[in-house]
Structure 1
Amino acid sequence: MNLKGKKILLGVSGSIAAYKSALLVRLLVKAEAEVRVVMSQSAKEFITPLTLSTLSKNPVLLSFTKSETGEWNNHVELGLWADLMIIAPATAKTLSKCATGHCDDLLTAIYFSARCPVYFAPAMDVDMFRHPSTQQNMRQLVAYGNFFVYPEHGELASGLIGDGRLAEPENIIKVLDSHFAKQPSAVSKRVLITAGPTVEPIDPVRFISNRSSGKMGYAMAEAFAAAGAQVTLVSGPTHLKAFNANISTVHVETAHQMFEAAEDHFGESDLVIFAAAVADYAPRVVAEQKIKKQGDSMSLDLAKTTDIAGTLGPGKRNGQLIIGFALETENELAHAHDKLVRKNFDYIVLNSLNDPGAGFAHDTNKITVIDKNNNVQQFDLKSKDEVARDILNLVLAQWNEA
């Protein structure tokens, strides 16, 4: 493993998920990393320093001085010692302090002194994680050059189900090990992703659209950017924002605007993922003024929009990969395979609305991937972040074979 001989500083803040830090330390030591642990005072309420010191084979650091001797725990020295720092679990409070410069304990003092890469692995309840202030703090930390191991979807301590569950230690280890690879796995690649719905105006106040949230496309953008790729994300209207500095977002509204943006970046991209839910039809004429209600019925004259994937796919160059998405309600495999062939895809990702928890608006997805050789691979229901990593791994395997 790439972690062998690396100096890892693990910060543990006060979350029920702190119990997982014991396994994380054990896995780091098993990978032959040198581990030192610093805990916030509240973290002691969830796991004992004795446990982590025993597993790490180093004293756990709790405060600026060692109470028995008065000796100083030099936070500057500790920040310079580490090859990598990770705070896992990172609570909403810890994220806020690190994002806003609030340094009031040894853990935050070391963070502000660290010259090494710093990762945060958040853990909190779903509504805390989704709160705009938490999301803003995460964006700010990414802007500062920090990295995230994003939380996973599952049952939380509150009994709710959603995003906010600390990533499993095994998954954290994979991220950290990948960090120390000679270079990120997709560092030389350019990736184009379309995401979200399109909005086709009827008049100044009404439009035709669909239920797409854009979550799947944004999750894939984050996954490929974290792997080192330069990502262009062409996004229809959505409340989502991209975190990673490797993501350049192009905001569009209509199908025509999305086609133009995708066409601009198609030729330069090593990988194109058509994940947007593009309107098939749009009003032929857009009223300049609000249409007044008249009579018992109303008819709209609709014109077919440009088939973005169908238009660009046949122009695929050698070595370029294209992935499409298909949302189906019946004869799913047959319809998806037909779309794969017609649009010259290398892979198509099938979602079925017959699968609970899959499709639009959900935080989860259940996919089936079909490749151009008609190989079919089915995946379990997972968070969209995990699904994005599954798709990333499929692509990386393809690139490694080339």
Structure 2
Amino acid sequence: MDNLDDFIARIRQVTGSETGGLHEPVFAGNEKKYLADCVDSGFVSSVGAFVTAFEESVRDFVGAQHAVAIVNGTAALHLALLAVGVRPGDEVIVPAMSFVATANAVSHAGATAHFVDVDEATWGIDPVALRAHLAEVGQMKDGRLHNKETGRPITAVVPMHALGHPVAIAPLLSVAEEFGLVVVEDAAESLGSFVGDRHTGLFGRLGVFSFNGNKTITTGGGGLIVTDDEALAKKLKHLSTTARVPHAYEFDHDAVGYNYRMPNINAALGLAQMEQLPGLIAGQRSLFNLYSEAFAGSPFGEVRQESAGTTSNYWLQAIQLAEGLKASKNELIQGCIDVGVSVRPMWKPLNRLAPYSAHPSADTPVTADLYDRVVCLPSSAFLANRHG
């Protein structure tokens, strides 16, 4: 395409000639020291001081009462759904625009993902469209909302803060209350993002974070659940450690549990990363300004900006292409990849994926449009350092 070189040049105006991966980790603190300390202690599995220290660090940063470290984000969301009472045969509302793990966690719980559209402003669940959809397909039966087309109860909603940008949480909570839905936040990408002065993950019964290698901070692989409910926190810790009943030596288990606790060696890495979190977020936010300047006045479109009343961690930078470039998205992406510039599309809509194409779904035109027009840009926090 004629303007491919211009598109690449604007990205390299920010990144320089070596962009690296889409979002690479930054190891510039105590990572090696804490990992060595963990190995020297002999406690590298799910029991150890680093697990507790990491939980406390995230808990205090977020402002939650309790935090439970889990082996990965998908497992954390699975466990969170079980803890709030999602059961086989239920339906759970999820955005059609999300990483597949959101829907997979619902499936792991034995429930059915029920897809709804996102809004243009936040790229998260559209509360207005959600209310209209539930009013159309739902009916109250025995005090619970049911899908009148499938007969299954709809028990929960999982808003996901896409690319780190908070959803319109206040009106969504209102809709959830109106229809009796439990809210579990998929905050996998939004560590360091706020609505007003309140951190994402604190609005639902539970909030779930991910620390995969491409997140703002990483534990290599890991997740964490936050809550202000002490009973839920105890339940999560119990279920995540195979539901073992405390005893000096006896192996007794009072429920079907899961081996889901984060290992100490992963938490050691995470604790060192938490010490750098403010600087990493500052780098990601600086990248937004740099990309906005690079694409200002261009024909390509607009760089994704945080919504009014929110503070985003800008985990992943993205440009929403102009309508006229929709047909050129794949060509732009392939052209960038061919010269070593790490860009990616948004996730394929979940209601188009083979495992979920037959699942209940509202119409999702905004999700479809964003998939056709959004390109994610190189977003590693260290890229901002090249500009002083």
- TM-score of the pair, normalised by structure 1: 0.28
* Bigger relative CO (Cα 8 Å, ≥ 6 apart): 2
Q: Which has the larger radius of gyration?
A: 1
